[in-house]
Amino acid sequence: RLRSHTTELAQTSYGNAEERFSDDRGRFRFPDLSPGNYRLTLKLTGAPEVAQTIALGSERDLDGVELRLPAGK
């Protein structure tokens, strides 16, 4: 089971960032996102940060986006 972690979402064109804590299953929500490019970063104490750049279009959200920690973390 994944411990609670912090997930940060930063819109790359504006530098605005928001953080959310995940639930005990690793799920998080960032509602009402505007289209654009974002950097999604997973932060878990004792593990290296995992990040992914994503592009959201007018009809796209974060459903299906997965970040995975290295094995054993």
pLDDT of residue 33: 82
| CB count in 10 Å sphere of residue 9 | 18
pLDDT of residue 63: 73
55: its two tokens: 């592009």
70: its two tokens: 């290295």
| Dist. CA 24–CA 13, nearest whole Å | 31
**pLDDT tens digit string along 13-65?**
777 788 888 887 777 888 888 888 888 888 887 778 888 888 888 766 677 77
Residues in the chain: 73
Q: What is the pTM of this model?
A: 0.72
